[in-house]
Amino acid sequence: MESFTPLTAALGGSLIGLAAAVLWLGNGRIAGISGIFGQLLPPAQTVVWRLIFLAALVAGAWATSRLFPELGVGGVQPAALVPPPAAWGVPPPVWLIVAGLLIGFGTKIGNGCTSGHGVCGLARLSLRSLVAVAVFFGVAIITVTVTGIV
């Protein structure tokens, strides 16, 4: 259990909640990353704030990693992607492409991801989001079990 980090998790979660609160009470927008990101693609209408939000998201992660490396995973290169399970014999780029396509397509047709349905939707007491969250958490847990990726 040495990897259990409840304090930084709760601090980070509170910051994510605060980010969603600022965007909702300031601009009346849902801080759902797949939506903010996906609606940059044609036929996009409101591009500027979405680009600024996403650029600031990258800047926020970068600045925090430099200023407070001990709070997160640490260092300049804090996270690596996880290789596919060896037993499956799938080349890593193929695995990554399939995962990326499924995430992009699924969040688009399901109208949300972990932030839009998970944080904002549940906070709005949306039954639709509750169903989405139960399905994507359930399926992700099954996927990790079946693939044995960890």
Q: Which of residues 29-58 bind other proteins (CB under 8 A)?
A: 29-31, 33-35, 37-39, 41, 43, 45-46, 48-50, 52-58
Which two structure tokens, joined as six digits, stand for 85?
């399970």
Q: What minimum distance in Å lies between the beta carbon of 89 and other proteins?
A: 15
Whether residue 43 is preceded by a cis peptide bond, meaning omega within 30 degrees of 0, is yes
Q: Is 89 in the site for other proteins (CB under 8 A)?
A: no
Write out the binding residues for other proteins, residues 2-31 only, by CB under 8 A: 3-6, 8-31
Residues binding other proteins: what is the number (CB under 8 A)?
118
CB of 2 to other proteins, least distance (A): 9
Q: Binding of other proteins at residue 86 (CB under 8 A)?
A: no
